[in-house]
């Protein structure tokens, strides 16, 4: 009997030591999926999160590459007269409510004789300031008030006005420069006369007084004449350029 009790006492601690090992094995099996079995919900969520992160990184990389790529430029060859006209001509537009907006309200004459409006001329100067000679002036007019028969007269009146004023300003500029050159020449003659009187060793008071008068007069006339040639004569340069550009421009009416 004593021997049996001893063997039973020895077996009990073995059973108690085996319990924690079995529990650890069961926990490991629950945490790691068996081969061929389905993954646990936590592992599946982590895999899905990794895939989404990879997708976001790939999208960001593609977007960054697209931004770095320059947009393709149009490299069509400019051939043919139509394309050359488009390149050489630049169009400017002025919006009108009626045809009378082009002309002065105080002039009751017909379109072929009326004076142009100051507002129209001021706006035309603004929009054509940086344009070259070859451009198209497009006048936008409401479709309900268009009169095709009147447009031909208005175009002719505009061309005549700008050409006339360009010729007048050029003639005036030429006249101012010619007058300035004449004054310069007279001034040089007076200075030469004053120099000649200096060489005359004569005590006559009249000659001394004359020399004193013509010397500063000669200097003044030379500088005044040069001012007329180089400054006053160029004051109308911008006005001449504007009128010449407008006289050469192609004028077209368009409905809106």
Q: At 256, is the pLDDT very low, low, confident or very high (cuts 50, 70, 90)?
A: confident
Which pLDDT value is given to residue 14?
44
- Span of 12-16, 116-120, 142-146, 247-251 with lowest mean pLDDT: 12-16
Which pLDDT value is given to residue 93?
86
pLDDT digits (tens, 9 = 90+) for 157-186: 999 999 999 999 999 999 999 999 999 999
Task: Assess contact for 105 and 120: CB atoms under 8 A.
Answer: no
Instruction: Look at residue 72 and tell me whether its pLDDT is greater than 80.
Output: no
Q: Is the entire prediction scored with pTM above 0.95?
A: no
Instruction: Look at residue 152 and tell me whether its pLDDT is greater than 80.
Output: yes
Q: What percent of the chain lies above the pLDDT cut of 90?
A: 36
DSSP 3-state assignment of 127? helix
CA dist 132 and 189 (Å) reads: 44
C-alpha neighbours within 13 Å on the C-beta side of residue 76: 7
Task: Assess contact for 213 and 191: CB atoms under 8 A.
Answer: no
Helices (DSSP H) in the chain: which residue ranges?
2-31, 41-68, 81-88, 118-127, 148-199, 205-230, 237-248
Q: At 2, is the pLDDT very low, low, confident or very high (cuts 50, 70, 90)?
A: very low
Strand partners, 92: 137
Residue with more model confidence, 31 or 96: 96
C-alpha neighbours within 13 Å on the C-beta side of residue 30: 6
């Amino acid at each position: 009997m004593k021997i049996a009790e001893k063997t039973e006492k020895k077996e009990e601690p073995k059973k108690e030591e085996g319990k924690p090992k079995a529990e650890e094995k069961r926990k490991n099996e629950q945490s790691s999926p068996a081969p061929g079995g389905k993954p646990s919900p936590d592992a599946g969520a982590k895999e899905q999160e990794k895939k989404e992160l990879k997708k976001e990184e790939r999208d960001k990389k593609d977007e960054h590459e697209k931004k770095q790529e320059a947009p393709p430029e149009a490299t069509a060859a400019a051939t043919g007269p139509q394309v050359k006209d488009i390149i050489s001509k630049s169009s400017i537009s002025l919006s009108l409510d009626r045809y009378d907006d082009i002309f002065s309200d105080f002039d009751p004459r017909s379109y072929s004789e009326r004076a142009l409006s100051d507002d129209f001329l001021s706006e035309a100067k603004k929009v054509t300031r940086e344009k070259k000679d070859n451009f198209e002036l497009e006048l936008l007019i409401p479709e309900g008030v268009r009169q095709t028969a009147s447009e031909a007269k208005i175009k002719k009146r505009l061309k005549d006005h700008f050409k006339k004023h360009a010729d007048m300003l050029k003639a005036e500029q030429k006249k101012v420069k010619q007058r300035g050159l004449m004054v310069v020449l007279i001034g040089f003659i007076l200075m030469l006369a004053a120099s000649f009187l200096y060489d005359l060793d004569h005590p006559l008071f009249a000659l001394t007084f004359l020399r004193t008068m013509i010397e500063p007069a000669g200097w003044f006339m030379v500088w005044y004449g040069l001012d007329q040639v180089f400054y006053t004569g160029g004051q109308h340069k911008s006005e001449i350029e504007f009128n010449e550009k407008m006289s050469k421009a192609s004028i077209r009416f368009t409905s809106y």
